[in-house]
Structure 1
Amino acid sequence: MEIEKAYFTLPEVLRRWSMSETDLAYLAENDQLRLSVRILYLDIEFGDLEVTDDGHCHSIPWERTCFNGLLDLHVQDVFQLFRHGEVRVSQFRTARADYACLCGRREFISVRKSDLLMKREERDRFDAETNFCGASVGPQSGAFFASGDYRDVHCNGHRFRLGQIQANVVRVLHAAAQRGEPWQSGKAVLAAASSRSTKMHDVFKSKKNWSLLIESDRQGAYRLLGL
């Protein structure tokens, strides 16, 4: 029996996506995923930020309350947390205000990796945007995710670390798939990727399993497998 949860622990998220902690840390550090912590009845100040004509930023608090719930971590705190195992936090991100911070006597809280949580809406957003699927429902055809520079790619449960030209090829094919035109001329793709080679096999010869990423129609056209 599964209960309906508003948030999930880090191990639950990693199991669902069959993802390593290193990959999840990469996404969070690059602000592609937001991680949260549980605040249990602590004094929190919420407010807006205002930039004056001279360029200075001022905080304008509009609520101080004994808060119970989840608040998101800033990227810099996530970065330090995954490298050192613990971080002191006093400032948080929230959709309800420009800023949230501890107030009163408590100057900071210590956050460990075991404290990290992910909101259901954040998990579902990432599912929808990347076609990642839960481990409980098995792999889905077409599950694809790429880092911003396309050098780190997940496709149908397989991970690929790519060189620059290889990444350019995947970027071109992914854009074509998103336009609804997945099959593209190999020579045209290689030209758009700034490759000196005219053969796809030569570009990906360092990746023995590249056929799990890119599919050929045996007539000179290619597409990302499953897209």
Structure 2
Amino acid sequence: MEIEKAYFTLPEILVRWNIPEADLIYLAENDRLRLSVRVFGMPIEFGDLRASVDDQPHSMPSERKRYSGLLDLHAQDAFRLFRSGELALTEFRTPNASHASVRGDESPVLCMIGDLVLRREERDRFEAESGFSGSGNRNPEPAFAASSDYQTIRCNGQAFHLGLIQAQVVRLLHEAAHAGSPWINGKSVLTSAGARSLKMSDVFKSQPGWRDLIRSNRRGLYRLACD
């Protein structure tokens, strides 16, 4: 039985991707992969960084609370941590906030390399963008891979970066394929996805290669083109 995890240790990721640790470090310190650390009951201020009149970034707090969960490292901190082995940190980021800092005079979070984890959604995003199959090798590449929000898709080796409505359309088509009935009515899909237009070509007009992702039978039915 496989446990449905929200995050994974780095050794688990190294085994899944079958890459050396040096490659994973390279991805993290070049901000191509966000690593995280688990904290418990830390007083954290969340917010976004915005430029002020002097063009310097300043934090705009949106929430303050004692937080338990994952916080993402900045790339420069991942770089420092892998070289020193441990690091005291007060500044982080999250998928929903560009700024997350330990409040006031509270003690920093002491991070060690063994504490680092990778969020499931970050793993899925990277696999969809890079073509990693998650099976220990990259050959053959899976016909279809998607991030958890379906905004990053890889279909037959081609990468797509989708908007919210486009992603919802692909999600519905993918679910239909899994259910064994891949061909579904286009207007029904677009309505369910919340699209304003009932023409697939209108919804995907920002994607020049969308017909490589979605196939039509020219009678109003659509399916994913990833065989």
Given the two structures, how large is their TM-score scaled by the length of structure 2?
A: 0.59
Residue 54 of structure 1 aligns to a residue in which SS? coil
Cα distance in 2 for partners of 1:98, 1:134 equals 28
2:107 is matched with which residue? 107
What is the RMSD of the two structures over their aligned residues, measured on CA atoms? 2.1
Identify the residue that residue 42 of structure 1 maps to in structure 2. 42
User: What is the deviation of 1:107?
Assistant: 3.3
Partner of 2:53: 53
CA distance in 1: counterparts of 2:51 and 2:116, whole angstroms: 32
In structure 2, the residue matched to 1:223 is none
Deviations 1:167-215 (A, max 9, x none): xxxxxxxxxx869xxxxxxxxxxxxxxxxxxxxxxxxxxxxxxxxxxxx
Q: SS in structure 1 opposite 2:49? A: strand
Distance in structure 2 (CA, Å) of the matches to 1:111 and 1:14: 20
Distance 1:142 1:3, change over 3 A: closer
Unmatched runs of 5 consecutive residues or more in structure 2: 143-156, 160-227
Alignment of 1:72-87 (within 5 A): 72-87=72-87
Aligned pairs for 1:128-139 within 5 A:
128-135=128-135
Name the % identity: 52
Q: Report what 1:117 is aligned to.
A: 117
How much has 1:87 moved relative to structure 2? 1.2
Aligned-partner SS, 1:93: strand
Matches within 5 A, 1:54-69: 54-69=54-69
Secondary structure of the structure 1 residue equivalent to 2:37: strand
Q: Which residue of 2 aligns with 1:182?
A: none
1:46 deviates by 0.8
Structure 1: state its 5+ residue gaps: 144-176, 180-227
Give the deviation of 1:79 after TM superposition.
0.2
Distance 2:82 2:11 in 1: 14
Describe how 1:155-170 pairs up with structure 2 within 5 A. Answer: none
CA distance in 2, matches of 1:26, 1:140: 22
| CA spacing shift, 1:79–1:139, aligned 2, 3 Å | closer
Alpha carbons of 1:96 and 1:23: their partners in 2 closer, same or farther (altered >3 Å)?
same
TM-aligned CA deviation for residue 75 of structure 1: 0.6
Please give the alpha-carbon distance, in whole angstroms, between the structure 2 residues aligned to 1:57 and 1:142: 41
- Aligned pairs for 1:1-227 (under 5 A) are 1-135=1-135, 140-142=139-141
Cα distance change, pair 23–52 in 1 and its aligned pair in 2 (3 A) = same
- Code of the aligned partner of 1:87: L
* Counterpart code for 1:110: L
Instruction: Give the distance between the partners of 1:131 and 1:121, measured in 2 at CA.
Output: 15
Between Structure 1 and Structure 2, whose CA radius of gyration is higher? 1
Q: 1:54 offset after TM fit, Å?
A: 2.6
State the shift of 1:110 in Å: 1.2
